[in-house]
Structure 1
Amino acid sequence: MTLSTNVAIGKPHNVREVFEFCRGLLGTPDGTPVREGAGYLDERTKRIGNPIGIGLPALLDITYGPDGPLTHRCDRFCSTELGGEFDTTQEQIDDHTRYVAESPTQNGWAAMIVDFDTAYGWRGEGGETCSDLHARLVTALGQWLDARGLPWKWQNEYTGEWFDRYDGLAEFGNAHRATGADAWFRNQVVPAIQAHAAVSSAVPGEPTEGGADR
């Protein structure tokens, strides 16, 4: 299980410059290879990121539109598909239409999306949780974007809500303690993982647990 936090940037900017700044935030070692390919939204988008499994506190990916802003590619939930081959209800279409209209990654607002992804059980110095870490990363990236006059929003994955700039970050960083999620992870998830690991250790060739950045 991982916490994925997206930061949407509302104006075009040099993607490599954003990438290198975020790499620095994570302490990426010099000479670390760059992972590039198709973006996760659709075939029109591209992606640049860090390799998986290099021991950093978060996996870093940036999705961007090389030819313009990120926009929605119509699918079976769009109104144009009503009455087509899929059994889609009007309620589903209405919900989907609302999602596309409100999401900066779908409605043409964003030029790129920065994604920090951290294992839910990650802990840093002083007991820092993944929520604390992501609030800190978003704040630092936001200050860097502000200095360059770039508008930005971020998404709370726990609720799905998008926020303008620093709104909601304090509550987000405190999410583990305020909601009891930290106690839930320690008391239920960790024992389950340990039990699974104990069983897996007896099976030849069973994969082991990965690092913070998967």
Structure 2
Amino acid sequence: MTLTTSVYVLDEIAHQDVFLKGNQLIGATENTRFRDEQKKTWRVGGVGQPEPGNAWILGNHADQGLCALLDIYYRPNAPLRAADNGCEWYCGPGCYAEHDNPACWLEVSFDTAYGYRDEQGRRCGDLHASLVADLGRWLDERAVRWLWEADTLAEVYSGYERLPRLCSAGSEATAWFRTSVLPAIQAKARS
């Protein structure tokens, strides 16, 4: 189980620049493996294929010892989500499009295991609050507007004022994982 926090970059900026800054924040090096590919559309009973118009993902591969998995969702030379964010012509019942996310140029996603704890004692929520604040300051220096959202909070926020909520939400998620999920997994493994 993981904490996922998204930063919605509202103004135009090069996705490669944001990826480099995000990698600096999570401690990636030039040896960190990454991918830059168009998202696949998954169909029931079929193999996923990229389709024209699908967003792209520039992101690190998992299991490299980084504090967070970093993904940047973008469209080449266009906003990720335009202001009109309704269903496309091919949407139908069970549509899984991200229609509730804000219109933005890029979406930056940080993903960290609930059980994360660094040498300073920070947990996943503390880490994500720090990552959002650091990326936010970097974007502010470039006069680029941004919003953020954590999956445990289910609200979109602007600025820094609500970041302490992310710390407490991350702690609550970690506690839930330790007291509910982990014991169930351990009990199942023993049986």
Q: Per the shorter chain, which TM-score range?
A: 0.7 to 0.9
Q: Please state if 1:193 is matched with 2:177.
A: no
| CA deviation vs aligned residue, 1:81-128 (integer Å, no higher than 9, x gap) | 6xxxx5x9xxxx9xx9xx84x631xxxx30000000111121222432
Q: Please state if 1:67 is matched with 2:77.
A: yes
SS of the equivalent of 1:127 reads coil
How big is the shift at 1:148?
0.5
Question: Which amino acid in 2 is paired with 1:122?
Answer: Y
Match in the other structure for 2:28: 28
- 1:157 and 1:21 map into 2 onto residues whose CA distance is 22
- 1:73 and 1:66 map into 2 onto residues whose CA distance is 20
How big is the shift at 1:32?
1.9
- 1:127 and 1:146 map into 2 onto residues whose CA distance is 28
| CA deviation vs aligned residue, 1:144-179 (integer Å, no higher than 9, x gap) | 0000100000012113210012231111112244xx
Match in the other structure for 1:38: 38
- Does the 8 Å CA contact 1:142/1:152 hold for their aligned counterparts? yes
Match in the other structure for 2:14: 14
- 2:40 and 2:158 map into 1 onto residues whose CA distance is 23
Cα 1:132–1:159 change in 2 (3 A) is same
Report which of the two has the higher share of helix: 1
- 2:40 and 2:111 map into 1 onto residues whose CA distance is 14
Cα 1:73–1:176 change in 2 (3 A) is closer
Q: Equivalent pairs: percent with the same residue?
A: 39
RMSD of aligned C-alpha atoms? 2.9
- 2:158 and 2:90 map into 1 onto residues whose CA distance is 27
Match in the other structure for 1:207: none
Question: Which amino acid in 1 is paired with 2:176?
Answer: W
SS of the equivalent of 2:161 reads coil
- Does the 8 Å CA contact 1:40/1:47 hold for their aligned counterparts? no
Report which of the two has the higher share of strand: 2
SS of the equivalent of 1:150 reads coil
- 1:112 and 1:40 map into 2 onto residues whose CA distance is 18
How big is the shift at 1:65?
1.8
From 126, 131, 144, the counterpart of 2:125: 131
Q: Spell out the pairing of 1:20-169 with structure 2 (5 A cutoff).
A: 20-39=20-39, 43=51, 44=53, 45-71=55-81, 72=85, 74=87, 86=93, 100=99, 103-104=101-102, 109-169=103-163
Q: Max radius of gyration: which structure?
A: 1
Match in the other structure for 1:183: 175
SS of the equivalent of 2:5 reads strand
- 1:168 and 1:119 map into 2 onto residues whose CA distance is 21
- 2:189 and 2:89 map into 1 onto residues whose CA distance is 41
Give the unaligned 5+ runs of structure 1.
200-214
Question: Which amino acid in 2 is paired with 1:157?
Answer: D
Question: Which amino acid in 2 is paired with 1:34?
Answer: F
Cα 1:69–1:31 change in 2 (3 A) is same
- Does the 8 Å CA contact 2:2/2:111 hold for their aligned counterparts? yes
How big is the shift at 1:198?
5.6
Aligned length: 177
How big is the shift at 1:76?
8.4
Question: Which amino acid in 2 is paired with 1:25?
Answer: L
